[in-house]
Amino acid sequence: MAKAPALRKAEPPVPNRERPDEPTPYAASKDELIEFYKQMLLIRRFEEKAGQLYGLGLIGGFCHLYIGQEAVAVGLQSALTPVDSVITGYRDHGHMLLCGIPPKDVMAELTGRAAGISKGKGGSMHMFSVEHKFYGGHGIVGAQVSLGTGLGFSHKYKGDGGVCLAYFGDGAANQGQVYESFNMAELWKLPVIYVIENNQYAMGTSVNRASAEDQLYRRGESFRIPGIQVDGMDVLACRGAAEEALAWVRAGKGPIILEMKTYRYRGHSMSDPAKYRSREEVQAVRDKSDPIEFVKKLLEEQGVPEGDLKGVEQEIRKIVNEAADFAEQTPEPDAAELYTDVLVEKY
Ligand SMILES: Cc1ncc(C[n+]2csc(CCOP(=O)(O)OP(=O)(O)O)c2C)c(N)n1
Ligand SMILES: [Mg+2]
């Protein structure tokens, strides 16, 4: 009779696994810091302008602003190389700008114009640019996690050395497909950085009210995926964490989770009564931990003259105003385009 296979010895509840080092804040040069400041300001002013255009009725449908969260995408994406890919949910304008998509192409998409990055048919939530390695823009909460895992698979399969940065929210972290993806990604050691943008709220409730384990960086434990919690209001901490995560993933050690503790200042979307938090709470974060003010202070401490910072502000306002003017004036898609690029029937 065949011998029964030996049962594997049980491991202790929390086995000693190799873990990434605790990240250190990135030591940015003055020029790099100015660049971070510029990028964060671009996102903020772009989003404020999008909010205005929405109010004027020039943008229709859904529109989710990234104001307050700028340090996360700027810190992380500044560490990427051109071969890496990015995917996120519907709060996507900032990530796209950082992928190098021109602000006027993003704004024209918001106003539904033919010159928009999705030819005016995607709108705020559904933008895409393979050329810029930006794979959406997704309205289905959590879907980008599975798709991002697929992008990781594609990097590994092609052997191109790329890593996928897959962003999702604290609310999305409770979706089932996230965990199916985690399992597969670790099993196949896929090059994916799962970025949980924990802005403390989903659509209408707080993370503590909706999550049994609200320390979201631990969510990979049962799949042996390590996680790191990061101050998402500090761009240097974000960049430092990106360096550590990229080193881990590029070394072939499989996926990693970064939980970015951040905050959104505006409503969930443009129609949000925001009954789940007080105005005082929002104001306190703005006053004490604003990510742009943080960098501005660092620059001032390094002796960057106030005039230089004002110059950056003017330069950014000009870019954003030009994008808005373009988005208002450029034509809508021709009616004949109604059914093109909507469904791929054949390759
Ligand atoms: C599968 C699915 N369920 C529900 C929704 C409705 N919905 C849109 S956004 C959202 C909350 C997501 O919150 P979070 O992941 O924290 O992202 P945030 O908006 O804070 O960036 C919900 C429930 C959806 N779009 N898709
Ligand atoms: Mg959230």
Q: What is the pLDDT of residues 3-40, one digit of tens each?
A: 777 777 777 767 678 899 999 999 999 999 999 999 99
Mean pLDDT, rounded, for 266-273: 91
CB of 65 within 8 A of CB of 59? no
| Main-chain dihedrals φ then ψ at residue 197, nearest 5 degrees | -85, 90
Q: What is the DSSP letter of 217?
A: G
Confidence at residue 271, expressed as pLDDT on a 0 to 100 scale:
86
Q: What is the DSSP letter of 18?
A: -
Confidence at residue 229, expressed as pLDDT on a 0 to 100 scale:
97
283 CA distance to ligand 1 middle (Å):
24
Confidence at residue 87, expressed as pLDDT on a 0 to 100 scale:
98
Residue to mutate, 177, 203, 269, ligand 1, most ligand atoms under 8 Å from C-beta: 203
Mean pLDDT, rounded, for 180-191: 98
pLDDT band at 231 (very low <50, low <70, confident <90, very high): very high
pLDDT band at 331 (very low <50, low <70, confident <90, very high): very high
- Residue closest to 50 by CA, chosen among 67, 36, 38, 35: 67
Q: What is the pLDDT of residues 50-91, one digit of tens each?
A: 999 999 999 999 999 999 999 999 999 999 999 999 999 999
- Residue closest to 257 by CA, chosen among 172, 325, 135: 172
Confidence at residue 10, expressed as pLDDT on a 0 to 100 scale:
72
> Where in 75-159 does DSSP place strands (E)?
85-87
| Main-chain dihedrals φ then ψ at residue 261, nearest 5 degrees | -80, 110
Beta bridge partners of 229: 259
Q: What is the pLDDT of residues 131-147, one digit of tens each?
A: 999 999 999 999 999 99
What does DSSP say about strands 85-87 and 192-198: parallel, antiparallel, or unpaired? Answer: unpaired
**Ligand 1 contact, 202 CB (< 6 A):** yes
pLDDT band at 192 (very low <50, low <70, confident <90, very high): very high
Confidence at residue 109, expressed as pLDDT on a 0 to 100 scale:
98
CB of 113 within 8 A of CB of 337? no
Q: What percent of the chain has pLDDT over 70?
A: 98
Q: Work out the mean pLDDT of the chain and round it to a whole number.
A: 95
Mean pLDDT, rounded, for 168-182: 98
Confidence at residue 8, expressed as pLDDT on a 0 to 100 scale:
76
Ligand 1 nearest atom to the CA of residue 203, by list position = 11
Q: Look at the alpha carbons of 304, 310, 316, 322 in this order and tell me if their dihedral is positive or negative.
A: negative
Q: What is the DSSP letter of 195?
A: E
Confidence at residue 1, expressed as pLDDT on a 0 to 100 scale:
64
171 CA distance to ligand 2 middle (Å):
5
**What is this structure's pTM?**
0.96
Ligand 1 nearest atom to the CA of residue 170, by list position = 16
Least confident of 97-101, 201-205, 271-275: 271-275
37 CA distance to ligand 2 middle (Å):
24
Q: What is the Cα 328 distance to its own chain's centre?
A: 27
Query: Which residues neighbour 285 within 8 Å (Cβ) at sequence distance 6 or greater?
Result: 68, 263, 265
- Residue closest to 171 by CA, chosen among 141, 126, 147: 141
Residue to mutate, 70, 141, 197, 208, ligand 1, most ligand atoms under 8 Å from C-beta: 141
CB of 57 within 8 A of CB of 31? no
Give CA–CA dist 37/51, Å, rounded. 21
Ligand 1 nearest atom to the CA of residue 139, by list position = 25
Q: What is the DSSP letter of 143?
A: H
**Ligand 1 contact, 68 CB (< 6 A):** no
Atom 2 of ligand 1, residue of closest alpha carbon: 141
CA distances from 68 to 37, 48, 207, 220, 275 (A): 13, 11, 17, 26, 19
Confidence at residue 347, expressed as pLDDT on a 0 to 100 scale:
60
pLDDT beyond 70 at 249: yes
15 CA distance to ligand 2 middle (Å):
31
What is the SS3 assignment for 229?
A: strand
Ligand 1 nearest atom to the CA of residue 199, by list position = 20
